[in-house]
Amino acid sequence: MLPEVSELKSRHGVLRFRDSGGEGTPLVLLHGSSYSMNVFAHLFEGELRRAFRLIALDLPGHGLSEDASDPSRVYSVRGFSDCVEDLVSHLQLASFAIFGWSLGGHVAIEVAARGLPVTGLVLSGTPPVSAGFLAVLSGFRVSSGLALSSKRHFALRDAGKFESMCIAQGSRLYVSDLMRADGRVRQNFGKSLIHGDCHDQKRFVETTSIPVCLLNGAHDPFVRLSYLSRVKGRRPGFTPITIEGAGHAVFHENPAVFSRVMIDFLNPRAVSYRAA
């Protein structure tokens, strides 16, 4: 059963989230562009909930959270990271791990780079890039999906195509979330990444002492895997994992493997994730 929706008043408006509670290590789940915490619903009912205190947030302009009154400021890496910081403060988390999917991964990197007490960082569908148009573009595959990810107004056909690329061919589980999302997010977020409205994400991932796992599907239609192969963490705990047969949403396409990787990677005494 899903935990009830809670809310907090952040510096960027009212946000809504689910919190499984419990004594496990807090694990903050950050969704991708135009999705919501609904995309993680199945994780609240599986093995991951028994291992962690799961906390899933609707970022501004998504799901049950409010739209931004100042889109150019809020719908950015920095603005979304402010909201996660406010959530952590609201819940009084002494430490926590983060899983960021796609857009959520870029937000997760920024949260960790700010010096918040992050114990582990798992990124999926998120190439850690530096600022600048060419630097950002080098991490992504040029495709119709990339064009959709910056399109403000979605027709139902657009939403269906986007979900087919993000989740699975023919999936329509989250079309209502895609149609609800404020399209100004898609217009503004990528620009903030290009303009460097955040820490240098590639440099942070390569130099941080926080354990970082780059967990990606071998057939991700958005991420350039050749770029990821050039991201080299210089500290123990940096772990790239590629899941064969998966695309952009490993956590959705293969939740059993995803849960095993998360549990083992975020437990420093375990090593079985290396063979995932």
Any idea where the domains of the chain sit in the sequence? 5-275
- pLDDT for 22 equals 92
- pLDDT for 236 equals 85
Which residue has tokens 């959709």?
148
Do 205 and 240 meet the contact criterion of CB atoms below 8 Å apart?
no
Residue 78 CB coordination number (10 Å)? 15
- pLDDT for 144 equals 84
Do 199 and 113 meet the contact criterion of CB atoms below 8 Å apart?
yes
Please give the backbone phi and psi of residue 4, each rounded to the nearest 5 degrees, phi first: -65, 155
Strand ranges of the sheet holding 5-10, from the earlier edge strand across to the other edge: 5-10, 13-19, 52-58, 25-30, 96-101, 118-124, 212-217, 239-243
Please give the backbone phi and psi of residue 70, each rounded to the nearest 5 degrees, phi first: -130, 80
Q: Which CATH class is domain 5-275?
A: alpha beta
Report d(CA 119, CA 206) in Å as an integer: 16
- pLDDT for 273 equals 40
Beta-bridge partners for 99: 29, 122
* Residue 17, both tokens: 């989230």
Residue 230 CB coordination number (10 Å)? 12
- pLDDT for 268 equals 54
Q: If DSSP codes are grouped into helix, strand and coil, which group holds residue 273?
A: helix
Do 228 and 240 meet the contact criterion of CB atoms below 8 Å apart?
yes
Contacts 24+ apart (CB under 8 A), 42-45: 42/252, 42/255, 43/251, 43/255, 43/259, 44/2, 44/3, 44/18, 44/20, 45/1, 45/2
Angle separating helix axes 103-113 and 184-194, nearest 10 degrees: 50
- pLDDT for 274 equals 42
Taking the chain (276 residues) in runs of 10, the rounded mean pLDDT of each run is: 96 97 95 98 94 97 97 97 98 98 98 97 98 96 89 97 96 97 97 94 96 97 96 90 97 96 79 41
